[in-house]
């Protein structure tokens, strides 16, 4: 009995049956009570009237009350079934959803407003889960494809060296160089993927950040790689420019842009980093004077694992930087700073702080 009463439908049935049957019992009792007046004599011989109340229900009344008991229970059971039907529909949908197929939806259009709202929230949650699962599936597919190439090079290179009839030192050196290049690409890809995963799991912690100081710090990190490629780094001038942002992730985004610019900048050229502020946004710009990006490919640079022919990198730096900007409510765009073929400029825009915050 106690286990049965844990069910919401059983509780609603019990409450509904009482609500239906108690008025019937009340009417039965009221109509069954009869009053009669009799005259009695006191010890002095004087008469007085006495009212006598008693229950004298008719057989039909008793039969009706007894018959209405099961009817009340049946009506309450039917009503409680309709009340919990939307919840049963939600439960059934949850049971049939599989991790590989999140396309099922409840789609509840009628019923109590609270239940309809619950079903709508459940469907919205499924939409988010399906989107997240789709992103995860595409990421796994793209990652497996991207990692397969350097792994294939490593295996093929080892097989060539092992099967060569008379390998010499030069052949081993050449094979080791190919192995180092493929292993470096593999390490870089895994590092970018781990950074991307940590960034997705990280909660945006907005605090006042000086973008000028942050950009100068990033340029300091790339001083050695830029010098090795005979590339000059030019930092932003002027005073501080603050905005509310997550310093760690924004620094990662700027570093990705500077790294990309240094890799594509020709020897003897410069990479310029600037910080701009308007009423609507603050922006960090990174400009290089490399070969540039054709107009038809400018949006493709933000696709995961895409990079131009013979271009260095993993194809993850720019997509991660745009993801960070969009997580802050901004964006990352690319533009041509001068004549076609004279490099490109990436603009990392973040929402400007309100006047009462500055």
Phi, psi at 101, each rounded to 5°: -140, 100
For the chain, which residues make up each domain, given as ranges? Answer: 4-96, 132-200, 206-351
Q: Where does 132-200 sit in CATH, by number?
A: 1.10.287
pLDDT, tens digit (0-9, with 9 covering 90-100), for 285-321: 999 888 777 777 777 777 766 666 555 556 677 888 8
Edge-to-edge strand list for the sheet holding 270-277: 232-234, 270-277, 281-288, 344-351, 331-335
What's residue 213's pLDDT?
Answer: 92
Torsion-angle region of 53 (φ positive above 0: left; ψ -120 to 50: alpha; else: beta): beta
Indicate if the pLDDT at residue 201 is higher than 60.
no
Q: Where does 206-351 sit in CATH, by number?
A: 3.30.565.10
Do 132-200 and 206-351 agree at the fold level? no
What's residue 286's pLDDT?
Answer: 92
Q: Tell me the DSSP string of 300-331.
A: GGGSTT---TT--S-S-HHHHHHHHHHHTT-E
pLDDT, tens digit (0-9, with 9 covering 90-100), for 78-107: 777 777 777 777 777 777 766 556 777 777
pLDDT, tens digit (0-9, with 9 covering 90-100), for 168-184: 888 888 888 888 877 87
Phi, psi at 98, each rounded to 5°: -115, 155
| Residue 318 and residue 332 in contact, taking contact as beta carbons nearer than 8 Å | yes
Mean pLDDT value across residues 217-222: 89
User: For residue 338, what pLDDT band results from cuts at 50, 70 and 90?
Assistant: low
Predicted TM-score (pTM) of the model is: 0.54
What's residue 358's pLDDT?
Answer: 43
Q: CB burial class (10 A; 0-12, 13-18, 19+) of residue 6?
A: exposed
Q: CB burial class (10 A; 0-12, 13-18, 19+) of residue 357?
A: exposed
Helix axes 247-264, 211-221, angle to 10 degrees: 50
User: For residue 249, what pLDDT band results from cuts at 50, 70 and 90?
Assistant: confident
SS3 354: coil
Bridge partners of 33, per DSSP, are 55
């Amino acid at each position: 009995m106690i286990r049965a009463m844990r069910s919401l439908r059983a509780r609603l049935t019990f409450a509904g049956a009482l609500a239906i049957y108690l008025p019937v019992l009340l009417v039965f009792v009221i109509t069954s009570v009869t009053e009669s007046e009799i005259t009695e004599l006191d010890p002095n011989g004087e008469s007085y009237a006495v009212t006598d109340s008693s229950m004298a229900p008719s057989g039909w009344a008793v039969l009706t009350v007894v018959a209405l008991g099961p009817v009340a229970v049946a009506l309450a059971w039917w009503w409680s079934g309709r009340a919990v039907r939307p919840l049963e529909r939600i439960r059934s949908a949850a049971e049939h959803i599989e991790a590989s197929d999140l396309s099922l939806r409840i789609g509840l259009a009628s019923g109590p407003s609270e239940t309809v709202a619950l079903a709508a929230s459940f469907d919205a949650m499924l939409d988010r889960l399906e989107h997240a699962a789709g992103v995860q599936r595409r990421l796994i597919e793209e990652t497996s494809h991207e990692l397969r190439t350097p792994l294939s090079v490593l295996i093929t290179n080892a097989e060539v060296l092992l099967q060569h009839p008379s390998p010499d030192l030069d052949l081993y050196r050449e094979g080791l160089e190919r192995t180092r290049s493929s292993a470096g690409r593999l390490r870089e890809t895994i590092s970018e993927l781990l950074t991307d995963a940590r960034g997705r799991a990280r909660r945006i912690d907005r605090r006042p950040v000086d973008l000028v100081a942050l950009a100068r710090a990033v340029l300091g990190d790339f001083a050695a790689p830029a010098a090795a490629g005979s590339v000059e780094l030019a930092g932003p001038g002027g005073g501080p420019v603050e905005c509310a942002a997550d310093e760690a992730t924004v620094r990662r985004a700027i570093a990705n842009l500077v790294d990309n610019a240094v890799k594509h900048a020709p020897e003897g050229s410069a990479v310029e980093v600037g910080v701009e502020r308007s009423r609507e946004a603050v922006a960090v710009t990174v400009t290089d004077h490399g070969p540039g990006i054709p107009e038809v490919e400018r949006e493709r640079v933000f696709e995961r694992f895409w990079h131009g022919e013979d271009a260095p990198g993993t194809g993850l730096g720019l997509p991660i930087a745009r993801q960070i900007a969009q997580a802050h409510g901004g964006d990352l765009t690319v533009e041509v700073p001068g004549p076609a073929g004279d490099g490109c400029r990436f603009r990392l825009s973040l929402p400007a702080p309100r006047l009462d915050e500055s």
